């Protein structure tokens, strides 16, 4: 038997799939209110940016129309003032008129004049490309040149005589100022709108997501086995319906867990778990190798006749409580209580490789537990139990009537284990030589002869089995101490590793 780690020995056998372990969230949770606030803020920002560019384009078109009207007035004025200088061919007068025009109209950056002889003269820090100058339209009305800059041109005509073409460039600084102010206003509006909508959505989403957060936390509690939940329900919308239905579900799960615990005291806990977890369990009749351990009280009849009924039941329960813990620890389960006797089965319904060895260890631990209890009869003799063990094929199936079935094991292994206990005097673990050979190292066998067992055609060599190594005895003592010292439920003790 391997050394048993006390820390792992005190772990619990869960009554449901999720009990015994805590389920945690896989990743940090990002609240819905924050997601909605960011989403709405981003949407509002995009909407304001799109609206800004639309309005900016409309304003730009309107400004260009206004600028074209102003340019027409200014260029017509300059053209009228330059008719005489151009007609006389006076370069000085032309320069004086243009410089005066530039000084009076600050929005004009420069003027370019193409004389009738093809010569070009520029006023101010502006220039026009050669191809543009050659293609200046001889139009008596003001028109904008097909350039990125704001160039407006007009052909000066006097008495049907073309005196030259005048091109004036206007500044776009006014539009930049307008666009800048418009951008500032939209930026302030965007900040205010995003903050206001974000706070409003955060508050609204918080009120809406609060029930969802409660559902999430409650679902995590339910997953961890806590069904004591009663969520507050307000309103009559879908979220209120979800909270109400969740409360109903939690109450049903709590009731289901309570029924599981109650039925688990009377029926096979493994089968109860299967039924409650899957809603159905396949319990077909089949043959299976099992180890059956019987324990019944020595001279129970005389003890029950000389003691009060309540005292008899109390003492039996006190022994059976310790027996149940020991059997559960070694991987077996109590199949039934038969008056003063208990029948334990190993390797069913959970298959276990070393079930014979574990059943023997359970029998020796139960015998040691009786000695440790030290309860005496009214006549002063200590109460003791006889223990019988056998391993063999048995029929696992449903026995009983249609409305009252018992899922149990029947067969020679059960009969032989029961008969073996009757061969002992009290405190001994009796088994056949054949079963003893399956125990492994660490045991001694004291033969008590060959006996004919009722229901078995062949005689069997029988004897007492006992632990023979100090380590094995120490491990059995540890299990007994564990069963006595821990105030635990019937599913608390569990075995770690192969014994």
- Tell whether 392 and 315 lie within a shared domain: yes
Residues in the chain predicted with pLDDT less than 50, given as ranges, are 1-20, 280-281, 487-494, 496-499
Half-sphere exposure of 148 (CA within 13 A, CB side): 1
Q: Of 202, 223, 244, which residue sits at a domain end?
A: 223
Half-sphere exposure of 254 (CA within 13 A, CB side): 12
- Tell whether 409 and 316 lie within a shared domain: yes
- Tell whether 219 and 303 lie within a shared domain: no
Is position 274 within any domain? no
Residue 395 maps to which CATH number? 3.30.70.1230
- Tell whether 288 and 403 lie within a shared domain: yes
Residues present in the chain in total: 499
**How many folded domains does the chain comprise?**
2
Phi, psi of 426 (to 5 degrees): 135, 120
Cα dihedral 401, 290, 421, 366, rounded to 10, equals -110
- Tell whether 58 and 200 lie within a shared domain: yes
Q: Give residue 385's pLDDT.
A: 92
Q: Give residue 350's pLDDT.
A: 77
Q: Give residue 21's pLDDT.
A: 53
Is position 470 within any domain? yes
The answer, yes or no, to whether the previous bond of 349 is cis (omega within 30 of 0) is yes
Is position 19 within any domain? no
- Does pTM surpass 0.85? no
Question: How far is 279 from 258, CA to CA, in rounded Å?
Answer: 16
Give Dmax over CA atoms of the chain in angstroms. Answer: 156
Is position 246 within any domain? no
Q: Give residue 129's pLDDT.
A: 65
- Tell whether 212 and 315 lie within a shared domain: no
Q: DSSP state, 490?
A: T
Q: Of 223, 239, 265, which residue sits at a domain end?
A: 223
pLDDT digits (tens, 9 = 90+) for 410-462: 888 888 898 888 888 888 999 999 999 999 899 999 999 888 877 777 888 89
- Tell whether 430 and 299 lie within a shared domain: yes
Residue 61 maps to which CATH number? 3.30.450.20
Q: Of 195, 223, 251, which residue sits at a domain end?
A: 223
Q: Average per-residue pLDDT in the chain? A: 80
pLDDT digits (tens, 9 = 90+) for 55-113: 989 988 898 888 888 888 888 888 888 888 887 778 888 888 888 888 888 888 888 88
- Tell whether 186 and 331 lie within a shared domain: no
Is position 277 within any domain? no
Residue 54 belongs to domain spanning: 24-223
- Tell whether 202 and 287 lie within a shared domain: no
Asked if 319 and 373 count as a contact pair (C-beta separation under 8 A), the reply is: yes
């Amino acid at each position: 038997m391997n050394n048993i780690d006390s820390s792992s020995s005190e772990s619990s056998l869960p009554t449901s799939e999720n009990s015994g372990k805590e389920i945690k969230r896989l990743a940090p949770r990002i609240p819905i209110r924050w997601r909605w606030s960011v989403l709405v803020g981003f949407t509002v920002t995009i909407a304001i940016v799109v609206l800004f560019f639309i309005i900016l384009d409309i304003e730009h078109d309107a400004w260009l129309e206004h600028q074209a009207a102003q340019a027409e007035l200014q260029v017509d004025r300059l053209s009228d003032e330059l008719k005489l200088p151009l007609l006389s061919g006076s370069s000085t007068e032309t320069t004086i008129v243009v410089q005066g025009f530039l000084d009076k109209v600050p929005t004009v950056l420069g003027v370019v004049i193409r004389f009738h002889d093809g010569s070009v003269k520029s006023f101010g820090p502006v220039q026009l490309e050669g191809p543009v100058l050659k293609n200046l339209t001889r139009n008596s009305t003001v028109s904008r040149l097909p350039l990125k800059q704001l160039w407006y041109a007009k052909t000066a005509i006097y008495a049907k005589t073309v005196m030259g073409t005048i091109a004036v460039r206007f500044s776009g600084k006014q539009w930049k100022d307008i666009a800048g102010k418009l951008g500032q206003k939209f930026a302030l509006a965007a900040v205010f709108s995003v903050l206001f909508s974000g706070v409003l959505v955060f508050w609204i989403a918080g009120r809406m997501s609060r029930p969802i957060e409660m559902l999430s936390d409650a679902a995590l509690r339910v997953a961890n086995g806590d069904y004591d939940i009663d969520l507050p329900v307000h309103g009559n919308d879908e979220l209120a319906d979800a909270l109400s239905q969740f409360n109903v579900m939690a109450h049903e799960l709590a009731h289901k867990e309570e029924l599981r615990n109650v039925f688990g005291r009377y029926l096979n806990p493994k089968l109860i778990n299967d039924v409650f977890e899957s809603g159905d369990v396949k319990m077909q009749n089949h043959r299976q190798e099992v180890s059956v351990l019987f324990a019944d009280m020595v001279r129970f009849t005389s003890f029950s006749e000389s003691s009060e009924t309540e005292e008899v039941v109390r003492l039996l329960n006190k022994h059976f409580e310790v027996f149940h813990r020991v059997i559960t620890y070694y991987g077996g389960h109590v199949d039934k209580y038969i008056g003063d006797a208990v029948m334990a089965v190993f390797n069913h319904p959970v298959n276990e490789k070393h079930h014979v060895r574990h059943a023997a260890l359970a029998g020796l631990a139960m015998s040691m537990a009786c000695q440790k209890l030290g309860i005496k009869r009214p006549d002063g003799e200590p109460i003791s139990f006889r223990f019988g063990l056998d391993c063999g094929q048995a029929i696992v199936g449903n026995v009983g009537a249609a409305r009252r079935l018992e899922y149990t094991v029947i067969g020679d292994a059960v009969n032989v284990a029961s008969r073996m206990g009757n061969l002992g005097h009290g405190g001994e673990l009796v088994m056949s030589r054949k079963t003893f050979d399956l125990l492994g190292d660490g045991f001694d066998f004291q033969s008590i002869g060959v006996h004919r067992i009722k229901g078995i055609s062949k005689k069997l060599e029988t004897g007492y089995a006992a632990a023979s190594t100090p380590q094995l005895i120490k491990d059995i003592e540890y299990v007994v101490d564990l069963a006595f010292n821990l105030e635990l439920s019937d599913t608390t003790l569990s075995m770690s590793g192969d014994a």
